Amino acid sequence: MTQTTMRVFKLIFKNTLRHKLRTFLTIMGIAVAIMAFGLLRTFVSAWYAGVTQAAPDRLITRSKISITFTLPLAQKEKIARIPGVEAVTFGTWFGGYYKDPKDFFAQIAFEGPESFTLYPEFIVDTAGLRAFGSERNAAIVGQATMERFGWKVGDAVQLTGMIYPGQWDFVIRGVYTGATDATDISQFLFRWDYIDQRMQQEMPARAGQVGWWVIKIDDPAKAAQISNAVDREFDNSADETLTETEAAFQQSFVAMAGTIIFSLEVISILVIGIILLVAANTMAMTARERISEYAVLKTLGFNGGHILGLVAGESLLIAMLGGGLGLLLMFPLLQGVGAALRAWFPAFPIDPMTYPLAVVSAFAVGILAALFPAWRAIRVSIVDGLRRVG
């Protein structure tokens, strides 16, 4: 680096501090925009977390009519006989709440402890699994929900059922953790036969019904073939099915929120666009105020390249300071938001691309915001520039 370049850097740095409040506000604006950009991208990632975490060797079979329609337990044996199927279990959406209906968390009825073998990403201790197998009202709860409500193993928990009406008493016998950060550790899992027993007594028409089948297959490459075979098995029956990979199943939920996700993606780009205009406005004001100084520099022999360097350098410095601050604050912000929204977004993973994209965005804002002011500063003649003195 030449001494001249260092002097220019020094001049850029000093220029940046000339209007401290304006510079501070612009830096803060860029920082907030970068944080918003990261937050919106993480929301989108969180929406897709279920899809990205889906196991390739798991199929989900649901009612062809709708996920809200149940399927008869009797289908299990037929599915298990289909070539390529290694194991079959099921899940049923309970749809209850603990104390306050607003405190949402997923409650799912599992077939039994063997269901966990199909979900290796749920890590449960053996004692918990053993108790789950021996006690009909045992529950295994994700660590996030345990922490959220301050529950401990051995606690009795009463849920109010909405799909399965009434009060339901459970005893927490185990806690499951996730194999990765993106694993959903918010679910409340309990045994299906606990609700089925009461259904047999109180609502016999709803007994023996499950929500969906979870099928482990021997080869992910045969997913389409096995899915077809399962659905063919129940064609023209009273309970026709729709089988798809777990990723496709999750994707169908994401697709329901497609407009929202698309909006978030658009807004994340708009945020960068807005801050570009703010930064460009700052640089335009700055360059306009300094037209006479640029004219003096040109009089002394500095050329357009030097002027471009001064304007773009200052713009870049402000943008990168804002971007850096935004990145620094983004991490704790996302941690905080992730913790606050754990019930709705059990996994709130920060997309690794968010950081480089934020840096590139800040850099692009710095360059683009300087282009027009620099072009104007270069283009103004020395004579016109000097006229603005005094």
Partner 1 sequence: MAAPVVEVTSVSKTYYRDKMPIPVLSNLSLVVPEGDFVALMGPSGSGKTTLLNMIAGIDRPDSGKVTVAGTDLGALGESDLAKWRARHVGFIFQFYNLLPVLTAFENVELPLLLTGLSKKDRREHVASALELVGLKERMDHYPRQLSGGQEQRVAIARAIVTDPTILVADEPTGDLDKQSATEILDLLTQLNRDDHKTIVMVTHDPRAAEHAHVQRHLDKGELD
Least gap, CB of 375 to partner 1 (angstroms): 15
The reply on whether position 257 binds partner 1 by CB under 8 A is no
Give CA–CA dist 143/136, Å, rounded: 21
Least gap, CB of 379 to partner 1 (angstroms): 11
Q: Segment near partner 1 (CB under 8 A), from 15-23, 155-163, 167-175, 261-269?
A: 15-23
C-alpha distances out from residue 302 to 142, 206, 291, Å:
66, 85, 14
The reply on whether position 1 binds partner 1 by CB under 8 A is no
The reply on whether position 308 binds partner 1 by CB under 8 A is no
Strand partners, 156: 171
| Conformation bin of residue 54: beta by default, left when phi > 0, alpha when psi is -120 to 50 | beta
Q: With respect to partner 1, which residue has the nearer C-beta, 18 or 81? A: 18
Q: With respect to partner 1, which residue has the nearer C-beta, 174 or 309? A: 309
Collect all residues with Cβ–Cβ distance below 8 Å to 229 and sequence separation of at least 6.
82, 83, 84
One character per residue 347-386, x = contact with partner 1 (rule: CB under 8 A): ----------------------------------xxx--x
Give CA–CA dist 58/118, Å, rounded: 8
Q: With respect to partner 1, which residue has the nearer C-beta, 226 or 312? A: 312
DSSP 217: E
The reply on whether position 232 binds partner 1 by CB under 8 A is no
Among residues 11, 32, 329, 337, the one that binds partner 1 under rule CB under 8 A? 11
Collect all residues with Cβ–Cβ distance below 8 Å to 73 and sequence separation of at least 6.
90, 208, 209, 210
Q: What share of the chain is helix, strand, coil (3-state, %, to 5)?
A: 60, 15, 25
Among residues 293, 337, 357, 363, the one that binds partner 1 under rule CB under 8 A? 293
Least gap, CB of 149 to partner 1 (angstroms): 58
Binding site for partner 1 (CB under 8 A): 3-4, 7-8, 11, 14-15, 17-18, 292-293, 296-304, 381-383, 386, 389-390
